Amino acid sequence: MGKLNRREFVKLAAVAGGSALWPPQLRVVGDIIERITGFNPTEPEEALEVIPGAKFGMVIDLGKCIGCRRCMYACKLENNVPDTISPPYIMVFQTQSKTGVSGYYHSPKIPERGTTMMYTKLRKDKWYLPVQCNHCDHAPCVKVCPTGASYKDPDGIVMINYKKCIGCRYCMTACPYQARRFNWWEPEIPLERRNPLVPLREEGVVEKCTFCVHRTRKGKFTRCVEACPNKARIFGNLNDPGSKVSKLIASERNFRLKEELNTVPLIWYLTQRSEKKMRWYKPLPPPKGIRGLR
């Protein structure tokens, strides 16, 4: 029997069990089909070696974040995210300013009036909360993936093998941070806008933030960290007690999103009020053609 492509594999898996199968059973079905047909998904083409002993994490200083959304658009350009993926990998929520006697944002929960509006004038009296993939130590998306396409590397980064992804979207349902995006259409990105270091994902797969693995495993920062005008984002090695991220987590008031779910996210938020240098008073205009925006 000839080898199957990914879509034919999905169809055959559906015939074998369909939606009645849970991820463990579907994984077994996939193994059987692989043995019968010779279908064998390979590792990603851009597989970079993990840095020994490193564990990456990020700190976001909410006292410094001005909500300019430059992290969103820098991430979009760096990672070849098409306009059909909306929202992008990073979402920025505008929240009401709630301060206590010590002057910090006192709750890790997004207030009822939280919004992702991109056209509001930036204000010093508002708090802005960027949200993205948290690269959890106990990642629910990895646990439910039936083919092993979602996996976590020793350096803390949760990755996706796009050649193994069958588009079942179990991971999207399991992610408590709504950090994954599904490619409903074949991506169209002009050649002059493409980053040659990041492969284009094809139609029918899930994608997300990778902590710019093509940069960070070569000793660089993520693009969102570099693009932040107020230095609200800090990235580094959590296993290094002398790193800036480790020192901030140990010394500053902080929280992580939905810690009660025991996902152990690797993004911390600082809650000390800082002087906001409002260099821009309006967000960057969103790229043309993003679905759902007017």
Cis omega (within 30 of 0) for bond into 44: no
Same domain for 27 and 147: no
Mean of the per-residue pLDDT values for the chain? 78
The angle at the Cα of 263, spanning 236 to 181, to the nearest 5 degrees, equals: 80
Same domain for 171 and 65: yes
Same domain for 222 and 122: yes
Question: pLDDT at position 126, please?
Answer: 75
Q: What percent of the chain has pLDDT over 70?
A: 66
Q: How confident is the model at residue 106 (pLDDT cuts 50, 70, 90)?
A: very low
Same domain for 31 and 125: no
Between CA 288 and CA 267 the distance in angstroms is 30
Same domain for 133 and 2: no
Q: How far is CA 140 from CA 40, 196, 264, in A?
A: 25, 30, 10
Here the tokens at position 282 are: 């309006």
Between CA 198 and CA 50 the distance in angstroms is 17
Residue 292, in any domain of the structure: no
* CATH code of residue 226: 3.30.70.20
Same domain for 110 and 161: yes
Domain enclosing residue 13, as ranges: 1-40
| Pairing of β 267-270 and β 127-131 | unpaired
Question: pLDDT at position 177, please?
Answer: 94
Same domain for 22 and 100: no
Q: Alpha-carbon torsion 194, 182, 217, 269, what sign?
A: positive
How does pLDDT run across 216-274, given as a tens digit for each residue? Answer: 999 999 999 999 988 999 999 999 999 999 999 998 888 999 999 999 999 999 987 66
Same domain for 181 and 108: yes
Residue 52, in any domain of the structure: yes
Question: pLDDT at position 87, please?
Answer: 87
Same domain for 88 and 17: no
Question: pLDDT at position 124, please?
Answer: 67
Q: What SS3 class is residue 49?
A: coil
The angle at the Cα of 141, spanning 138 to 146, to the nearest 5 degrees, equals: 120
Residue 268, in any domain of the structure: yes
Same domain for 90 and 15: no
Residue 290, in any domain of the structure: no
Query: In terms of Cα–Cα distance, which of 3, 12, 4, 44 is closest to 30?
Result: 12
How does pLDDT run across 136-194, given as a tens digit for each residue? Answer: 999 999 999 999 999 999 999 999 999 999 999 999 999 999 999 999 999 989 898 89
Residue 140, in any domain of the structure: yes
Query: In terms of Cα–Cα distance, which of 272, 254, 285, 277 is closest to 72?
Result: 285
Residue 294, in any domain of the structure: no
Question: pLDDT at position 121, please?
Answer: 60
Asked if residue 41 has pLDDT above 90, the reply is no
| Pairing of β 56-61 and β 267-270 | parallel
Same domain for 184 and 81: yes
Rg of the chain in Å (alpha carbons): 20
Task: List alpha helices for the chain, DSSP H.
Answer: 6-16, 23-37, 70-78, 140-144, 170-174, 213-216, 223-227, 244-251
Tokens 């309006």 map to which residue? 282
Domains: count for the chain: 2
Question: pLDDT at position 95, please?
Answer: 73
Question: pLDDT at position 127, please?
Answer: 80
Same domain for 115 and 5: no
Q: What SS3 class is residue 19?
A: helix
Please name every residue paired with 150 in a beta bridge, in sequence order, or none if there are none.
160
Here the tokens at position 240 are: 């290094």
Asked if residue 107 has pLDDT above 70, the reply is no
Residue type, 198: V
Note if the pTM is more than 0.85. Answer: no
